[in-house]
Amino acid sequence: MLYVVHCGTFKSFVMSLNGLIQVTGFQIAGDIVGLDGISTGLHQTDVVALEDTEVFVLPFLQCQQWSRESAYGQRHLMRTLAHEITRNRRHMLALGTTRAEQRMAIFLLDLSQRHERLGHSRFQLVLQMTRKDLGSYLGLTLETVSRQLSRLQRECIIQVQGKSLALLDFAALRRLAGVSSDCSSMTVDSIVDQKGNFLVAKRPT
Amino acid sequence: MLYVVHCGTFKSFVMSLNGLIQVTGFQIAGDIVGLDGISTGLHQTDVVALEDTEVFVLPFLQCQQWSRESAYGQRHLMRTLAHEITRNRRHMLALGTTRAEQRMAIFLLDLSQRHERLGHSRFQLVLQMTRKDLGSYLGLTLETVSRQLSRLQRECIIQVQGKSLALLDFAALRRLAGVSSDCSSMTVDSIVDQKGNFLVAKRPT
DNA sequence: CGCGGAGTTGAGAATAGTCAAAGTCGGTGG
DNA sequence: CCACCGACTTTGACTATTCTCAACTCCGCG
C-alpha cells in the first residue's frame, strides 16, 4: 500500500534489530508514505502520525497497473521514486558533512519551503514532532536540538515557543545553512570526472 | 542512461553548490549507476571510476519500454529502485546513530558481504577508494578513518596494508557493528504505532 | 494541586575534527 | 636503475563539537 497524505503530519523511521531508531523524514500534505515497500510488499520503514491525519490509500496493484497502462502514470511513479532517492541523498549529505547549527538551519528552511508550497506561511510554522524525533532525524541528541533552537532564538533568527516557531531572519538562516539548502537547482549531468580523468573506461560493444 | 557495472569499482557522490561533497556509495559488479536521473534525465549524482572498469549501458527509454511491456520487467525495475531507497535509509541510520568505530565495522562487513556475493573471498578485499572518499562516505574525516583502521588492526580484528585488507575476526566486527548490520532481514510491515496510539487516523471513504 | 512527559540548561566527559609533521607508495624522467 | 616528486597515509598534540548525566522548569491534564 501507498499512502498519500491529505492532511496532518507523519514521521517515518527505520529501526535496527538492536532497537536503534532513526527518523528518516516527516511527511506533510502531498507527500507519499510507503514507497520503500513498493516492490516487495514489505516495508522496512515504520510510520506514525504526529497529529490527527487523513490519507488516501493507493494499493500497489492499482499503482502498477496505472504505470503499465499509461506512459504518464509510469513517468509519474518513477519520478516520485527518483525524487525520494535524491531527497534522501541530500539528507545524507547533511548528516555527513554539516554541524549541528547548519543542519538545523537547513531543516528549518526546508520545512518552511514545503509549508509555503502548500499555501501556508513560510514564516510561521509548527514543529509537530518532539525534540527527540527532530534530533533523531538530524542525527543529534534532543539536548543539542534544544540548545541550537535556543541559540538561534538568542540571536534573533527565530522565535520558539514550544512547538510553534517563527522564522525572523531568512538571510541569516540561509547563511548558516550554506548555499546548500537549494541544491535542488543543481542540474549536473551524468558521468563526469572531477579532474578530467577517465570516466567510463570502456563500453562493451 | 543507466549503467550496470560489469567489473571495477565506482564511487558516486553528490555535490552541493558551496562545493561540499558527500560520497553516497561505492558500486561494484552488478550494481547500477544513475538511478537518480531515471525520470527527469538529470542526474544529481556524479560518478567516478576508481579503477579500470566496464559497464553496460541501458538507455532510460528502453528501460521504460521493458517495464511497460513485461510485468516482470516492471517489477524488477521497481524492486531495484525500492532497494536503492532502503539501502540509503540504512546508510542514513548509520550516519545518524552510530560512532566512528561502529560505522567502520558496518562498512567493512557490508563490503565483505557484497564481495562474497560476487563469488570472491569475504576475508580478503581491496579498498579501491582513498581514505578521504571513505571518510566522506562514512561522514568522518580521513584522519579518523585512518585511526579507526589502525585501531582495528592493533586489536587484531583486521589487517591493513595500504589498500588491501584482511578481515580476521568477524565475530568482533559484528559485535562492534551491533546486530544492526543485518537489518536487511527485517520484515516489519506497514503502518504501525510504537505505543498503540492511532496509526492512520481516518481513511476517506 | 500535583503528576508526568516534554523541554531547557549546565557541567564535565568523550568523541571527532583540525593542524602539523613525518612516513609510504608508485610513477616519471634523468 | 635510481632519485625525486606528488599524492596518499599515518600519527601526534591540541581544539572544538557533541554527548551524557543530571537538575530544574514548563505546560497540560486529571
Q: Give the pLDDT of residue B43.
A: 59
What's the pLDDT tens digit per position in A21-79?
889 999 998 888 887 766 665 557 888 888 888 888 888 788 778 877 877 877 887 78
pLDDT in tens, B28-40: 988 888 777 666 6
**B13, B68: one domain:** yes
C-alpha cell at B40: 527527469
Q: How many separate helices (H) and strands (E) can be counted in chain B?
A: 6, 9
Q: What is the DSSP string of B54-103?
A: EEEEE-HHHHHHHHHH-HHHHHHHHHHHHHHHHHHHHHHHHHHH--HHHH
What is the CATH classification number for the domain harbouring B32?
2.60.120.10
Q: Tell me the pLDDT of chain B averaged across its residues.
A: 80
Whether residue B17 is found in the same domain as residue B106: no
Q: Is B140 inside a domain boundary?
A: yes
Question: Are residues A60 and A120 located together in one domain of the fold?
Answer: no
Q: Is B188 touching A (CB cutoff 8 A)?
A: yes
Residue A194, in any domain of the structure: no
Any domain includes B34:
yes
pLDDT tops 80 at residue A182: no
Provide the chain B residues 70-99 that lie in CB contact (below 8 A) with chain A: 71, 74-75, 78-79, 81-86, 88-93, 95-98
Please give the nucleotide, over all strands, whose C1' is closest to the CA of residue A132: C6
Residue B135 and residue B43 in one domain: no
Do B9 and B71 fall within a single domain? yes
CB crowding B78-101: b at 16 or more within 10 Å, else e: bebbbbbbbbbbbbbbbbbbbebe
Query: Residues 13 to 52 of A: which have CB under 8 A from any B CB?
Result: 14-18, 20-22, 24, 33-40, 42-49, 52
**What does the pLDDT read at residue A134?**
96
Query: How close does chain B come to A106, measured CA to CA in Å?
Result: 12
Asked whether residue B75 falls in the same domain as residue B104, the answer is no
Query: Do A92 and A114 sit in the same domain of this protein?
Result: no
Verify that A114 and A175 share a domain, yes or no: yes
Q: Which nucleotide is nearest to A138 (CA to C1')?
A: D18
Range of the domain at B22: 1-97
pTM of the entire predicted model: 0.83
User: Considering the domain boundaries, does residue B43 fall inside one?
Assistant: yes
Would you call A179 exposed, middle or buried from its count of C-beta atoms within 10 A (0-12, 13-18, 19+)? middle
> Is A47 within the bounds of a domain?
yes
- Mark whether B116 and B176 lie in a shared domain: yes
Say if residue A104 is in the same domain as residue A50.
no
Q: What is the DSSP string of A160-192?
A: EETTEEEE--HHHHHHHH-GGGGGGG----SS-
CB contact under 8 A, A1 and B190: yes
Question: Distance (Å) from the C-alpha of residue B179 to the closest C-alpha of chain A?
Answer: 6
| pLDDT by residue, tens only, chain B of 205 residues | 788 888 889 999 888 777 788 999 999 988 888 777 666 655 578 888 888 888 888 887 787 788 778 878 778 877 887 788 888 888 999 999 999 999 999 999 999 999 999 999 999 999 999 999 999 999 999 999 999 999 999 999 999 999 999 999 999 999 999 864 443 333 222 233 333 333 333 222 2
pLDDT at A205: 23
The CATH number of the domain holding residue B134 is 1.10.10.10
The answer, for B61 touching chain A at a CB cutoff of 8 Å, is no
Q: Is the pLDDT of residue A167 over 60?
A: yes
- The radius of gyration of chain A from alpha carbons, rounded to an integer in Å, stands at 19
